[in-house]
Every structure is written in C-alpha cells, then in structure tokens.
Structure 1
Amino acid sequence: MALVYVAGLIRGEAEAEPLHAVPVLAAEPDAELAALRAAAPVDGDDPADALDAALAEPEAADLLAAAVPDAGTGELGAALADLHDAGALLDPVEVGGFFAGLGEERTAWLAVLYPTVIARMPGAPFDARIAANRIVLEAAATASTAHDGPERPWTEERPVRADLAQLVGSDREFVYLDPYGNGGTGSWIEVVGDLGTASEVAVLVPGGSAMIDSENFNLYRQRAESFVAAGGGELAVLVWAEAPSPSGWIEEAWASWSQVAARSLAAFTFDLRAQLGGGVGVTLVGHSYGGAVVGTAETLDLAVDRVLHIASAGMGSGVYGPEDYTEPCRDRYSITAPGDPISYVQGMPYVPLLGHGADPDEFPGVRSLATGSLSDAPDAVDDYGVSLAERGLSGKTVEGVHSHSEIFYPESDAWNNILKVMLGGAPALADAQPEANPDCP
C-alpha cells in the first residue's frame, strides 16, 4: 500500500508530455488507398458494403481488427502509423483537421481497413469510430470463443463472452470501445441519442465499477436513455467510461484513479466540442466517483458550458475553492439527497491521494438542486424499468441509503432537475444554498 501511495504521488506531480505533431499529406492518397482496398479481406464498392461484408464474415473482421498501418504502403500509411504510435499524445482538434482533409469517404474506408486504429484515435470523426468499433466488437466476440484452455467434456465450444454477446448485432453506438481495457473488464464511450440534431449534449461519467462486464454498463445507458427520451430530440448523452475504474469503497477512496481519468476526460471535451461545432451546449455530469473525475478534470482546461455533480464524491482531488479551477466562474450545479451515504466522504480534509476535495453541496458558487420526491404516477418506474407502485415507492421522498440511485428514477423531482440542467434550463433549487462566489458576476 505504501508503494502504491508513493507511486500515485509521483504520477500526480508528473508534468504532461508534449503533444505529438499531426502529419500533413503532401499528395492525394487515392492510389495508395485503392491498393489498400484491393489487398483487404473484404470486397465492396463503397465503405458501407465493405463494413457489412466484414461483419458477416468473422475471419475477415478478425484480420481487419488486427491490421495496423505501415509506412511501406505510402504517405498515407506512414501518417496513420505515426498517429497510431503517438497514442494519447495527440491534439484531437488537429487530428480532426487531418481527417477533414482526407474527406468523409476516404475516412470511412480507413475505418474498415484499420478499425482498431481509427476506433481509438482521439479526433477521428465519431461516425468513423462508431463504424470501426462494430468491427472491433465482432472480432473481440469471436476471439472470446477461441482461447485455448483445458478440455471441457460438457461443451464443444466456448460461448461468446457474455458482456460482448449482448452487443453483437445491436444498434448501440460507441465512439470508443476497448473490450480488453480496464484490466480486462472493458472500457467505453457510448452515444445515446442523435449528436447530429441535438442542441444540448451531456457527458455522463459513471460512478465506480464502470466496466463492460458489470451491471453499471447497461444501467447508465438506461439512465441516459430516460433523459434523451424526455429531451424530445434536443438532447444526446455520451456515457463516458474510457479510463480505468475503481471498484469498491477502498479503491474509490483513492484519488489516483480520478487523476488519470481526468486527463482523458478533459481531452475528450475538446474532441467533442470540435465535432459538435458551435451553438451546441455541453454539460459535464459526474455521478458518485464520477463526480470526483469531473471535478479533477476542472483543474485542467475543459470545453464545456456547465458542470453537474450528482451525489458526487467531491469537487476533485485537492480542490477546496473555486480558485483551484481553471475557470472559477463556470456554471456549476450539485444534487445530493438527504441521508445519501456519499455525504460521509464529501469534503474530507486534504490528505494527498485520499479523498476527493470539497463537498459539492457547500462549494461557493454552486447551485444546489432540490431532490423532492419520486413520481406517484401509476406508470412510474425505477431506473431498471420496474414499477414504483409494485415496489411500494410511489411518491416517496428521495432520501436515505437508496437515494444514491433513486435520484435517477424517471419523472422524480430530482430526475426532472437533472434533465433541466442538461437542457440548459432553470432547475428548482434547494432551500439551502452555498455562499456565492464573490469573484463571479
């Protein structure tokens, strides 16, 4: 434990590495791209046909998912190899400019030819990443049936990994998907709603145990769907779980997880802003441990309009006042129900790498939202879709141990206030409010 603590201190104090320069193509890449297409294990007159062919043939999907660009194919291959090798050390806005120069069709072909590379490249167009991740998913699902192991007389074939099997052939859209990330439990960024038509977009960072093989994977999607459905086409939500996630109270007490995640999240907000264009409002939302990630990200540069803490663990590692943020006067909201157990860890005194900063509900300048009651409508349900009437919860005040999740129950007062913030509206405030930030208008 002592070694982990010291390592975390060193990691937290380390300076960020400089960003990698994005290459510029000197010539049109059509001839090189045509040669790459001819050598690919799928045929198709256009990228959509080739994608369908790859998804229909597991062996082809596997070969494509394993493909990496090679400088030996020409200037385009060299540029892609350079970007691939740079990993996270890329400016997503500059990378977006690289793909804008290639054009939509060429980029779509690259998503088929090098799906794993395009799927995880910050700044690559979301549409291309979503298509690429369909091949990545297909290949990972097939691979999960083929691992060597002891003979099992009760079955001839190993079944597809259950968490992946539910996704194959579905219409779920991922702008990031690593089935092997997060210690083998998976990491992801999922789009819920239509980013192309939404006037408001929320980035929802889940609490702990944000893993593809945990129930939180589907639970946060269902929560996002409830908000998108109520938004009437105006709202889209991205469930952001790209980074390693802690699991359990002991791991979640450490700030080092949030420090690592915060850098990835901050970079993603600029990627998102560049792809959305101007005029779209962006709300960064953190639930439970996700609030600590969001708060820590605010100590870095962000491209968001407002921040919402939902039953949040804190305002971020080492954050105890607005002056600890790069934008002290950004619009901030917080909602925590009375009796939520998270209140025991909010605002803990500063100890390096332990705890998550100030209490969000008492932070200067934050607007604290009313939690109110659950819906008493006959058809009201919880966030799993189970009837509140059947559970005996109709009209219940949102409070106590279970309020940590009840705050997401559709049509409750708390849920309505969260939705209003996501839509850039005016939510109902709690009776007691934190002191104002005297340095802000």
Structure 2
Amino acid sequence: MIKRWWRAAALTAVAAVALVYLAGLARLGEAEAEQLRAVPVLAADPGTELAALRAAAPVTGDDPAAALDAALADPAAAARLVAAVPTADSGELGAALAALAAADGGLDPVAVGEFFAGLGPERTAWLSVLYPTVIGGMPGAPFEARTAANRLVLTAAATASTAYAGPERPWTGDTARPARAELEDLVGSGREFLHLDPYSNAGGGSWIEVVGDLDTARNVAVIVPGGSAFLTSQNFEIYHDRAQSFVDAAGDGLAVVVWAAASWPSGWIQEAWASWSQVAARSLAAFTLDLRAQLGDGVAITLAGHSYGGAVVGTAETYDLEADRILHIASAGMGSDVYAPADYTEPCRPRYSMTAPGDPISYVQGLPYVPLLGHGADPDDFPGMRRLATGNLSDAPGAVDDTGLSLHDLGIAGKPVEGVHSHSEVFYPESDAWRNLLAVMTGEDPELTAEQAPADPDCA
C-alpha cells in the first residue's frame, strides 16, 4: 500500500512538472512567434470621421477633458465607452485603430507614437475618451492619453465588479456585490497608469504605474517587481509605496515607473521557470523604447528589477532597449541563458547589483544551465558588475519599514541588513541599502562593497 502511494505521488509530481514545462514552451513559442506589424498611415484628414464618432458617443462636449469628467461621473457611460470597439465601418481612422488594437502589442511603439503625433494632442485626447480600452493599453500612445483612458477603464471595472455574474437569483435581484477593494480604492485617487488590465493573470490584473512627474524628472527609474505582481496582491501597494519613498526623497528630479504589464508567476515553483521572464522581457524592452521616445535623450533611465523582476530585466537586455544603467535588487539572475556580458546587446552598459548577506535568493542565483529552468548567471559575480553595500537599517526615532511599521517597535532599528528578511529590508526607507538604491536611480555615487565582481576586460 505504501509503495503504491509513493508511486502515485511520484507520477503525479512528474506529470505536474511536465505540464508546467510544456506550458512554458507554449508561452515561449507565443513570444517568439510575434512579428512587428506595419503601423497604418492615414491618407485623409480624420476630422469628419472623428466628429461623427463624438456625436455617437454617450458623452458630449467640445472639450475632451470635460467629456472625460462627464464619463467618469457616469459609470454607465464609462462602461459603454470601455466596451467600444473601433471598426472599419466608421472610416479610415476606425480601421487604423482596429488594426492597431488587433496587433496586440506586435508593433514598434516609436512608430505608434508617430501615428498619434500625426493626429495631434486634441484628437488623441478624444480617442482616449471614445476608445479607452484601445488607447489605455496601446504601447506608443502618448502617456497623457493612456493615463486618461485608464481612468475610464478603472471606473468601469470597479463598477462591473459589483454585479453578480451569471443568471439573476432571488437573492441578487436588489443587491450588489462589494466592489473589488483594490479597484474601488483607486477610483478618484489620482494615481496614474500607463497600462491597467484588471482581468489579466486569471483576474489578478496587471499594470504600469507612474509615481512622480515624468514631465519634470531628470531621472526615471523603471522598477520591475518580484513574483506575484498582481493588482490583487499586497505587492501592488508595496511596490507603489517603495517607489513613492524614492520619489519623496529625490523631489521633482526623479520619477519611478512600476512595470508589471505581463503574465506573472506566483510562488517558488513557478518562479523557478524562465518562461514568464522570457515573455515579459520582450514587452519590457519595447516599453523602454517607448519611454525614451516620449522622454527624450536628456533624461537618464535606470532599469531595475527586484527578485524575479531581475530575471525579467536581465533577459530584456538581450533585446534592444533603452537604459542608461541597470540595477539588480536581490535579483534571481542575469536572465535566461545569460552567462557573460557578450550575451547582451550592449555588454558594457553600467550595471549594479545588491544582494544582502543571507538573502535566500542567493540559493537560486547562478544555477547551472537547464532549458527553461533558472535565470542565468549570479548578478553579484557577473563581470563588470558594481556590487552595492547593504549596511544597516535606520535607527532614527521615526524609522519605519516599507509598509509604515516602526522599526523600533519591531525591534530591528539599526540592525545590519542581512538574513531571510533582507530580501525586503533593502527597501526600508533611510537604510543604507535604500540610500544606495536611490543613489543609482539619481545618478550619484553609491557605496560599494569591499569585494567586487571581476572587471570585464572588453569594457574600458
């Protein structure tokens, strides 16, 4: 009986691993199959067509900002706008928008930006109201239009979450479900999203959030979260608060973008597989091209990945991307199949790594190569890497962790950043580790560890 039980358990485990592996292959195949499509070119002025679309919309007004406010105040109108789908029936503009939406990200974001630049700011603003689902999720569309569109997406999703799914029942006729808390809390909050999909990741959601002002920032950091990067996870608020702590310290000179716009793993078993990072990396690399095009060359971009996010950042570096410096924070690795700087498109790009002593992530860094398993080389030993010191937590009277709890009440004020909890402690405000991360993001000189990775002889 015992032998049969163990045999059944072993077969079940092997089958589960095989299914995860095959799912990873399918996910990777989807990413490799993507080909950039041509961005439509409008042959005629779309003014007449746009006027007809505005006339048929559930909100009216001569000003797109006023129309947006009216839709936000009317959940039914917001829902109709979010459900609107452009078609060729309205004319050339509708057909172009339908083609852009059908490409599902398989577009050059810079070329998409040029398409909207040709339309001009006012017409683009109107499209963000008329077709918020299309514009809010469109890489390359102007950031201002995307944040406006995603306000409507958010309002409609929060309202929709109060309805009961399925046929009406006697107990649901005159009642409403509580709204999804993570959505309801965001409505009217003023937070800005360049991407917001409440239904991806099996309902967990995905997002790109801007913390700070991209218009005034001289430095912009893109932070890619670790595992379980879902709207429904605590990580959604935790990474926002971490980003806010850096922006508050740096002032208008820094903006932080939290990038979690992909399918994401959850738990150590899923996070051991490289397929999620391989698929997300392509989208992340494209986002940096979009970011550079919209920010211009005068803004320094830091691309940072924490934990599993480090593997996403590392794999993204195997594509063409825009970043002035790379920051691995307790990173799972340098990216799938990456074991030397020559595996990157820009081997000599400045790179920084921080892993505290005793951080459990060290057990998975630099594992031997196995297809689809693991995340490449150990960041701390990677040639040319600058290793950042982690130092101590703050012992100031008001010192808190990254959720606002008092370090003195927790009994950890002033202690070295090390051990199991150091994986998150590197983000505790005013700690030595946090200051070093901020220094990299703002282009200042951080404190390095005494022992450094070997230099890359091919980089001067």
Q: Give the structure-2-normalised TM-score.
A: 0.94
2:217 is aligned to 198
Map residues 306-317 of structure 1 onto 2, 5 A cutoff: 306-317=325-336
Query: 1:387 aligned to 2:406?
Result: yes
Q: Take 1:12 and 1:38, find their aligned partners in 2: how far apart are those partners?
A: 44
Map residues 127-142 of structure 1 onto 2, 5 A cutoff: 127-142=144-159
Q: Take 2:26 and 2:381, find their aligned partners in 1: how far apart are those partners?
A: 30
- 1:285/1:308 contact within 8 Å kept: yes
Q: Take 2:165 and 2:315, find their aligned partners in 1: how far apart are those partners?
A: 42
For residue 225 of structure 1, give the secondary structure of its aligned residue in structure 2. helix
Q: Take 2:210 and 2:114, find their aligned partners in 1: how far apart are those partners?
A: 22
Q: Take 2:349 and 2:170, find their aligned partners in 1: how far apart are those partners?
A: 59
- 2:207/2:259 contact within 8 Å kept: yes
2:296 is aligned to 277
For residue 231 of structure 1, give the secondary structure of its aligned residue in structure 2. helix
Q: Take 2:292 and 2:172, find their aligned partners in 1: how far apart are those partners?
A: 53
1:253 is aligned to 272
Percent of paired sites with the same residue = 73
For residue 405 of structure 1, give the secondary structure of its aligned residue in structure 2. helix
- 2:24/2:273 contact within 8 Å kept: no
Query: 1:72 aligned to 2:94?
Result: no
2:175 is aligned to 156
Pick from 94, 100, 106: which aligns with 1:89? Answer: 106
Specify the code of the residue in structure 1 equivalent to 2:75. P
* Unmatched segments (≥5 aa) in structure 2: 1-16
Map residues 225-374 of structure 1 onto 2, 5 A cutoff: 225-374=244-393
For residue 256 of structure 2, give the secondary structure of its aligned residue in structure 1. strand
For residue 252 of structure 2, give the secondary structure of its aligned residue in structure 1. coil
User: Cα 1:15–1:391, aligned 2, differ >3 Å: closer, same or farther?
Assistant: closer
Specify the code of the residue in structure 2 equivalent to 1:146. A
Pick from 418, 423, 433: which aligns with 1:414? Answer: 433
Query: 1:52 aligned to 2:66?
Result: no
- 1:183/1:244 contact within 8 Å kept: no
For residue 239 of structure 1, give the secondary structure of its aligned residue in structure 2. strand
Query: 1:112 aligned to 2:129?
Result: yes
* Unmatched segments (≥5 aa) in structure 1: none
- 2:164/2:176 contact within 8 Å kept: no
- 2:147/2:192 contact within 8 Å kept: yes
Q: Give the structure-1-normalised TM-score.
A: 0.98
Specify the code of the residue in structure 1 equivalent to 2:299. V
Q: Take 2:32 and 2:76, find their aligned partners in 1: how far apart are those partners?
A: 43
How many Å apart are 1:16 and its aligned residue? 4.3
How many Å apart are 1:43 and its aligned residue? 1.4
1:31 is aligned to 48
Specify the code of the residue in structure 1 equivalent to 2:126. W
Specify the code of the residue in structure 2 equivalent to 1:349. P
How many Å apart are 1:66 and its aligned residue? 0.3
- 1:189/1:242 contact within 8 Å kept: yes
Question: Which string of whole-angstrom CA distances, capped at 9 and with x for unpartnered residues, describes residues 331-379 of structure 1?
Answer: 0000010000101111111111111111101111000000000111111
For residue 177 of structure 1, give the secondary structure of its aligned residue in structure 2. strand
Q: Take 1:112 and 1:164, find their aligned partners in 2: how far apart are those partners?
A: 19
For residue 251 of structure 2, give the secondary structure of its aligned residue in structure 1. coil
Specify the code of the residue in structure 1 equivalent to 2:116. F
Q: Take 1:225 and 1:412, find their aligned partners in 2: how far apart are those partners?
A: 15
- 1:9/1:352 contact within 8 Å kept: no
Q: Take 1:221 and 1:136, find their aligned partners in 2: how far apart are those partners?
A: 19
User: Cα 1:10–1:219, aligned 2, differ >3 Å: closer, same or farther?
Assistant: closer
Map residues 149-188 of structure 1 onto 2, 5 A cutoff: 152=171, 156-188=175-207
How many Å apart are 1:70 and its aligned residue? 1.5
Q: Take 1:328 and 1:163, find their aligned partners in 2: how far apart are those partners?
A: 40
For residue 264 of structure 1, give the secondary structure of its aligned residue in structure 2. helix
Pick from 11, 20, 24: which aligns with 1:8? Answer: 24
Specify the code of the residue in structure 2 equivalent to 1:32. E
How many Å apart are 1:10 and its aligned residue? 5.9
